[in-house]
């Protein structure tokens, strides 16, 4: 009989379904990490929410573990790479909390516009302050949605019947898909300028960190209301407080925080125009039961030899255990991440040329790794090796695979070209030795770059002294150079420079580099 440990608090319907399927279930929602590690060797399956950390240390003790089920969407608390390497299938329940999160957004929006929490507090204090809590209607207001993924779409569908005009910013969404939802795609600056209410539904990445900041709030119309039910860190809380106090922002509703639990001494929590809730987006009976039932059925089907659903890493178990292909898995995902950070326009097509027989067998899987790397920082929902092709198709991204014989210079070479509106970028990558991944070409410039850490790059006139002025600026700002690659097509032609550096580069330094005569196309990537 298969044995499952449930180590987090999960609706008991999960236990019931598994036991009906002939699986022995141990339900210990308060078990301590040390006890899990001590006893995990006796179990074939583990079901968690967010409390249990299925990290490398725990998985090394899981000698009989076949499967880990996450009753929820995100898998941040599971070391998927280690699990995959050990042949442990990881499953999640995508979409289980979509409706709950969308409805909570609407609940906060209505509460914010009609001062519901403040009026309730006043009544509880024995006051009748009817004239104090004059609200605003949703009808005829413009709602700006940043991120039109699953939750963002559900928010839009619920806002339209209130008579709201819905505008959205999403770099992946096509005009055709947006029109089907009866929403208008706009730029971020247009969204800030025209929205009466802004709600955020994007993942937390380098690009979206503090997407609501002093700079962006200054672009918003006076009286705007801000809502965040997505991720902590999307809002600069100090900037938001400043703009609420000066009257530019009329109110805010926040469900998620950079640190949870947050610091309650933060004056934001005490401001009368701010509504806060303790990360309740997915906290409904329906959502919790839905993910419990979903994960139980998926695991029962797995152990009974039926169709595998919701697998995060299933397709990669064979590939990631192949020592020859594993470095190309990492390389593929990193190239996708690099383009994700560089791209400004909607991606239409990816052409991938697989040079070398070693890559041919795993071409489909490596294409998915490229997609995963690109989409992970673009979408609010968790992107994995199972849903990446579906999400790409949903967003109109076409993948073309080409298989060719070995390149003249490299036995195995990945050549990936990204096509988007107004731009085309090409990256060539290979592996030296057993595992040294390298990018060896960018837009036909021959270079050799280790895609790790912080990368600063630019094009420049091919003449003496160009590198010196940049390196001098970096030195003046105590930024150390860890590696350097220079490429040019012809002598005296425009050159391409990539510098591995040890520190982050702020906007002021980037702007200074852009101002130097003879330097253009300045960019910065964090891997």
Contact 460, 494 (CB under 8 A): yes
Please identify which of the residues 30, 176, 260, 265 carries the catalytic annotation: 260
Give CB contacts under 8 A, 24+ apart, made by 509-512: 509/473, 509/474, 509/477, 509/479, 512/473
In the residue annotation, 260 being an active-site residue is answered as yes
In the residue annotation, 103 being an active-site residue is answered as no
DSSP 393-440: HHTT-EEEEEEE---SS-SSEEEEEEEETTEEEEEEEEEETTTEEEEE
Residue 6's CB is within 10 A of a number of other CB atoms, namely: 28
Tokens coding 132:
């104090």
360, containing H or E segment: helix 357-360
State how far the alpha carbon of 325 is from the alpha carbons of 97, 106, 413, 464, in Å.
Answer: 36, 46, 12, 41
Please identify which of the residues 114, 194, 279, 419 carries the catalytic annotation: 279
Angle at 57 between CA 262 and CA 94, to 5 degrees: 60
Question: Using CB atoms within 10 A of its CB, is residue 510 exposed (0-12), middle (13-18) or buried (19+)?
Answer: middle
Question: Using CB atoms within 10 A of its CB, is residue 511 exposed (0-12), middle (13-18) or buried (19+)?
Answer: exposed
287, containing H or E segment: helix 285-303
Please identify which of the residues 49, 70, 231, 438 carries the catalytic annotation: 231
Length of the chain: 527
Residue 174 is classified by DSSP as -
φ/ψ of 425, rounded to 5, equals -130, 135
Contact 236, 212 (CB under 8 A): yes
Strands 454-460 and 519-526: antiparallel
Question: Using CB atoms within 10 A of its CB, is residue 490 exposed (0-12), middle (13-18) or buried (19+)?
Answer: exposed
Give the end-to-end CA distance of the chain in Å, rounded to a whole number. Answer: 44
Angle at 374 between CA 372 and CA 378, to 5 degrees: 105
**Which residues are annotated as catalytic?**
231, 260, 279
């Amino acid at each position: 009989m298969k044995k499952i440990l449930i180590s987090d608090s999960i609706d008991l319907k999960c236990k019931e379904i598994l036991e009906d399927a002939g699986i022995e279930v141990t339900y210990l929602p308060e078990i301590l990490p040390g006890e899990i590690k001590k006893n995990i060797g006796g179990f074939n399956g583990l079901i968690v929410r967010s409390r249990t950390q299925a990290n490398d240390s725990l998985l090394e003790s899981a000698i009989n573990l076949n499967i880990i089920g996450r009753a929820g969407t995100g898998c941040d608390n599971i070391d998927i790479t280690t699990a995959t390497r050990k042949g442990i299938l990881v499953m999640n329940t995508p979409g289980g909390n979509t409706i709950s999160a969308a409805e909570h957004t609407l609940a906060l929006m209505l509460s914010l516009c009609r001062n519901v929490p403040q009026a309730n507090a006043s009544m509880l204090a024995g006051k009748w302050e009817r004239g104090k809590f004059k609200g605003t209607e949703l009808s005829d207001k413009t709602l700006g949605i940043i991120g039109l993924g699953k939750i963002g779409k559900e928010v839009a569908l619920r806002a339209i019947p209130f008579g709201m005009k819905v505008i959205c910013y999403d770099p992946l969404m096509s005009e055709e898909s947006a029109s089907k939802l009866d929403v208008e795609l706009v730029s971020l600056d247009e969204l800030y300028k025209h929205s009466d209410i802004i709600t955020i539904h994007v993942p937390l990445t380098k690009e979206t960190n503090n997407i609501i900041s002093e700079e962006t709030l200054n672009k918003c119309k006076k009286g705007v209301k801000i809502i965040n039910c997505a991720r902590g860190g999307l809002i600069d809380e100090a900037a938001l407080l400043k703009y609420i106090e000066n009257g530019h922002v009329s109110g805010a509703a926040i469900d998620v925080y950079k640190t949870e639990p947050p610091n309650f001494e933060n004056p934001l929590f005490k401001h009368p125009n701010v509504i806060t809730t303790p990360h309740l987006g997915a906290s409904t009976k329906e959502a919790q039961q839905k993910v419990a039932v979903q994960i139980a059925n998926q695991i029962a089907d797995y152990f009974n030899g039926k169709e595998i659903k919701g697998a995060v890493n299933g397709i990669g178990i064979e590939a990631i255990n192949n020592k020859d292909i594993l470095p190309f898995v990492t390389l593929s995902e990193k190239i996708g991440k690099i383009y994700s950070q560089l791209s400004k326009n909607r991606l239409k097509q990816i052409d991938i040329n697989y040079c070398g027989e070693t890559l041919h067998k795993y071409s489909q899987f490596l294409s998915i790794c490229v997609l995963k790397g690109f989409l992970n920082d673009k979408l609010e929902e968790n992107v994995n090796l199972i849903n990446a092709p579906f999400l790409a198709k949903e967003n109109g991204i076409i993948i073309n695979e080409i298989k060719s014989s070995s390149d003249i210079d490299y036995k195995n070479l990945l050549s990936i070209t990204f096509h988007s509106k107004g731009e085309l970028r090409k990256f060539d990558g290979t592996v030296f030795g057993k595992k040294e991944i390298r990018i060896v070409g960018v837009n036909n410039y021959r270079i050799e770059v280790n895609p790790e850490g912080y990368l600063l790059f630019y094009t420049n006139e091919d003449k003496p002294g160009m590198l010196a002025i940049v390196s001098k600026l970096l030195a003046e700002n105590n930024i150390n150079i860890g590696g350097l690659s220079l490429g040019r097509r012809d002598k005296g032609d425009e050159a391409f420079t990539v510098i591995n550096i040890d520190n982050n580069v702020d906007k002021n330094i980037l702007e200074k580099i852009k101002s130097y005569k003879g330097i253009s196309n300045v960019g910065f990537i964090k891997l």
